[in-house]
Amino acid sequence: MTIEARHKIGHYVKLIMDEVFGRDRFRNDITRIKCNPKNFHRKGYGNIKDLILFYSKTATPTWNDPRLSFSEDDEERLFKKLDKNGRRYTTIPLHAPGETSQGNTSKEWKGINPPKGRHWRTDPAILEEWDKQGLIEWSVNGVPRKKIFLDERNGKKMQDIWEFKDPQYPQYPTEKSLELLKFIVQASSNEGDLVLDCFAGSGTTLVAAHTLNRNWIGIDKSEPAIQVIKKRLNDLPSHLFSTIEYEFLKG
């Protein structure tokens, strides 16, 4: 579950969330860049970020591990080398920190021992296989490194600083970026799951859930909010993209 809080209250909300979900269910605090830099006339730095607190209800939540595509700049920076077939790649050490006294990963391979305090990333039998397949690059000094090909990587892992700017002409004062909410719903639920937004506001979470074929419940006490939500949902070409049906209930 994700809760968003304005920068002035985020730390207090964290304590409440810890009490509700348990401290061990806390997964991330995400910094979300929400707008362009502003020139405030007050003593202090401009505020362009929100805090998103990410908790899960259980220890094994749904997690679809969203990946980001590499930009052209990333590709050239992170995968600098080209092999003879023009495939872009980089190399990483064959060993990792930590010494093992047991197991094959501490043993000699091709007359080389892992450096002190480190062990081979995998069994020397597999290193041998990688070498036969041309997956190991040997430096002029005889140091082996593993090749990592760009076309075998599924993009890069999303980190905890995000940029999703809110709409410049919102239909409701607190309206959030639809792309942001779609990203969160996709990461932490599957089609047919149930998404709850108990402070629905502009209904962006509900629109995101609806278009992604999730069931949803939205709650808000404000009549203007309900009017905006109704309009946004009615404007969706729901018969084309979603099988989710909904009705409005009044308390």
Ligand X SMILES: C[S@@+](CC[C@H](N)C(=O)[O-])C[C@H]1O[C@@H](n2cnc3c(N)ncnc32)[C@H](O)[C@@H]1O
Q: Is 216 in the site for ligand X (CB under 6 A)?
A: no
Q: Is 202 in the site for ligand X (CB under 6 A)?
A: yes
Instruction: At 149, list the tokens.
Output: 């090909």
Q: Which has the closest alpha carbon to 66: 30, 14, 23, 25?
A: 30
* Smallest separation (angstroms) from ligand X to the CB of 177: 9
Residues 168, 173, 231, 169, Cα dihedral to 10°: -10
* Smallest separation (angstroms) from ligand X to the CB of 218: 10
Q: Kind and range of the H or E element at 178?
A: helix 178-188
User: Which CB atom, from 79 or from 164, has the smaller least distance to ligand X?
Assistant: 164
Q: Is 118 in the site for ligand X (CB under 6 A)?
A: no
Q: Kind and range of the H or E element at 2?
A: strand 2-5
Give φ, ψ of 145 to 5 degrees.
-140, 150
* Smallest separation (angstroms) from ligand X to the CB of 87: 44
Instruction: Among 42, 43, 221, 239, indicate the residue that binds ligand X (CB under 6 A).
Output: 221
The DSSP secondary structure of 217-251, one letter per residue, reads: EE--S-HHHHHHHHHHHHTS-HHHH----------
Give the chain's largest Cα–Cα span. 76
User: Which CB atom, from 94 or from 207, has the smaller least distance to ligand X?
Assistant: 207
DSSP state at residue 109: B
Instruction: Among 174, 191, 227, 231, indicate the residue that binds ligand X (CB under 6 A).
Output: 174
Window contacting ligand X (CB under 6 A); options: 54-62, 72-80, 123-131, 213-221: 213-221
* Smallest separation (angstroms) from ligand X to the CB of 209: 12
Window contacting ligand X (CB under 6 A); options: 34-42, 104-112, 140-148, 216-224: 216-224
Q: How far apart (Å, rounded) are the C-alpha atoms in residues 240 and 192?
A: 16
Q: Is 176 in the site for ligand X (CB under 6 A)?
A: yes
The residue whose two tokens read 């639920």 is 189
Instruction: Among 136, 204, 208, 233, indicate the residue that binds ligand X (CB under 6 A).
Output: 204
Instruction: Among 114, 124, 144, 201, indicate the residue that binds ligand X (CB under 6 A).
Output: 201
Helices and strands, counts by H and E, the chain: 7, 14
Instruction: Among 70, 130, 199, 246, indicate the residue that binds ligand X (CB under 6 A).
Output: 199
Window contacting ligand X (CB under 6 A); options: 30-38, 82-90, 144-152, 217-225: 217-225
Binding site residues, ligand X, CB under 6 A: 172, 174-176, 199, 201-202, 204, 219-222, 225
